[in-house]
Structure 1
Amino acid sequence: MANSKVWLVTGASKGLGLALVQELLTQGYAVAATSRNKQELIDAVNTTDHHFLPLQVDLNNEGSIQKAIDETINLFGQLDVVVNNAGYGLAGSLEELSDTEARKNFDVNVFGTLNIIRRVMPYLRAQQSGHIFNISSIGGFTGNFPGFGIYCATKFAVEGLTESLSAEIRSFGIHATIVSPGYFRTQFLSQGSFAVPSNPIEAYKVVREVQAAHQHQINGNQMGDPVKAAKALIEVATSKNPPLHLFLGSDAFQLAVDKINAVQTEMETWKAVTVSTAFTEQPAEA
């Protein structure tokens, strides 16, 4: 029997997005899925299920997004869960990445997400329900990854805007969840999903080592199972009280704990300086 909620998943032709679409269809949900290349998406999902609507969308074109949303609602009659999954990784030190390279990463990872939110919210507000998942990264919670400063900045932005979004839409009965995965065995570190600097600077040896490790040692050996991640998202979407912050993977969990502990330690160490900045009240004159 089909499940009643209708999902919209961006960046669905590979990785977590693809695993999520396939799991949703297996569980009987109606799914609208987007990709830059519709045929690539159709080939990847490989189904004739009438609950599947493949859509070619340019996330930096709001007209393209609106058309996709209209097609989804015209076919399925509603829209309930939105997953902003589209994005790509970018390696390179802050010095060596050009303005163009940095802005392109923000255009997809941040502004593409904002464009979707802007266009789906009128429908979710009208029905007074819904759930928006914004796929971030553990690199959106801790930036301690040399060579990933711009990518981390895009994901920090996603986390910040989602926290504000959650506060803004709560009164409409709509939930927002930040998903911060660790390393999952997808194509994320492969060509097409992972960009490197056009003009690397030789002096950044640590950055090159981290970049090479991600491309050659970590890629294909990630501990996270994308199918299990997809099932986790579906479970959260069915919860009456879903989390704002969802970390996926034991590696992500530990890195988050380490960051929280480090911040708490620094706060206590520097508390005297922190609280010393208020105006000193002068005693009233007699």
Structure 2
Amino acid sequence: MKTWFVTGASKGLGLTMVKKLLTTGYNVAATTRNLKELRRAVGEASGFLPLAVDLVDENSVGKAIDETIKKFGSIDVIANNAGYGLAGSLEELSDAEARANFDVNVFGSLNVIRKAMPYLRKQGSGHIFNIASVGGFTGAFPGFGIYCATKFAMHGFSESLAAEVKQFGINVTIVSPGYFRTNFLEKDSLQVPKHEISDYKSVRESQALHQNNINGKQQGDPEKAIDVIIKVAEAGKPLTHLFLGSDAYNFAAQKIDAVTKDMEEVRTLATSTDF
């Protein structure tokens, strides 16, 4: 029986993933900052190991990985799902607010990878799913620059990781969801600037649109999203990019078209730089 290690498991896609995996018969080690909330949400289940983990603390992460190996004997699939949204223009967000978002969304995932890799290398197998966002492929979302930057970072290190660990029989997949109907846009998941600047009307409009109009009306079904991830894991084939949702496909296509257009616009000039 394979074992999944899932971060950010107490709500959103993470909670949906944990419940579905347990129902399917997998062992699941699930991390959270609030153990009571996670246990209440999941209930009693065979093969379930809830873990209180501070993802920005390497020692806390390492202990959780060790506990998982001790209980289940291996880790077969990792889902780096933990993260939170941050709205606000680049000028509005303080250094502390920006760094905190990177600490969780980027460095928390890197801590998990760093601590899990020795086990995965030794067993010569494994699959790492880094749950990014379509906002990590296209940053054309006013007021979400720092959040997009964290997800762009995840795309970048995941592509490098995929090339690094291929020799060990380990697959790496970047998951880029569009809008899914979770609590991601709720107040406890989407943070806003402590000091807003009134001049940024487009940012306020985008922020209000996400909080008041998009929230609760997202077209993506979380259950179906997790079904896709599980099927990709079970297929066992290398797949570096996994865009989820018709909207994600549209956003990605628009970005690819825009990049292609810009490249062609100056191809002759821009390729005249070789010796």
One-letter identity of the residue aligned with 1:229: A
Q: How many residues align?
A: 275
SS at match of 2:142: coil
Partner of 1:31: 28
Question: Within 5 Å, which residues of 2 pair with 1:150-229?
Answer: 150-229=146-225
Question: Any stretches of 5+ residues in structure 1 without a counterpart?
Answer: 280-286
One-letter identity of the residue aligned with 1:61: D
Alignment partner for residue 129 of structure 2, among 126, 130, 133? 133
Partner of 1:144: 140
One-letter identity of the residue aligned with 2:32: S
Deviation at 1:232, TM superposition (A): 0.7
Deviations 1:162-187 (A, max 9, x none): 00000000000000000000000000
One-letter identity of the residue aligned with 1:218: I
Partner of 2:37: 40
Alignment partner for residue 254 of structure 1, among 239, 250, 257? 250
2: distance between equivalents of 1:240 and 1:149? 34
Deviation at 1:262, TM superposition (A): 1.1
Deviation at 1:191, TM superposition (A): 1.5
Partner of 1:11: 8
SS at match of 1:257: helix
2: distance between equivalents of 1:273 and 1:105? 38
2: distance between equivalents of 1:14 and 1:65? 19
SS at match of 1:238: helix
Deviation at 1:241, TM superposition (A): 1.7
Partner of 1:69: 65
2: distance between equivalents of 1:100 and 1:75? 37
Deviations 1:218-252 (A, max 9, x none): 00000001111111110000113231000000000
SS at match of 2:8: coil
One-letter identity of the residue aligned with 1:124: L
Which has the larger displacement, 78-87 or 258-267?
Answer: 258-267
SS at match of 1:277: coil
Question: Within 5 Å, which residues of 2 pair with 1:225-240?
Answer: 225-240=221-236
One-letter identity of the residue aligned with 2:16: A
Deviations 1:91-127 (A, max 9, x none): 0000110000000000000000000000000000000
> TM-score scaled by structure 1?
0.95
Question: Any stretches of 5+ residues in structure 2 without a counterpart?
Answer: none
CA RMSD of aligned residues (A): 0.7
2: distance between equivalents of 1:24 and 1:274? 49
One-letter identity of the residue aligned with 1:39: K
1: distance between equivalents of 2:263 and 2:61? 43
2: distance between equivalents of 1:49 and 1:240? 26
1: distance between equivalents of 2:188 and 2:67? 28
2: distance between equivalents of 1:143 and 1:75? 41
SS at match of 2:272: helix
Partner of 1:52: 48
One-letter identity of the residue aligned with 1:213: L
One-letter identity of the residue aligned with 2:122: A
| Larger Rg computed on CA atoms | 1
Alignment partner for residue 114 of structure 2, among 111, 115, 118? 118
Partner of 2:94: 98
Question: Within 5 Å, which residues of 2 pair with 1:239-278?
Answer: 239-278=235-274
2: distance between equivalents of 1:105 and 1:240? 32
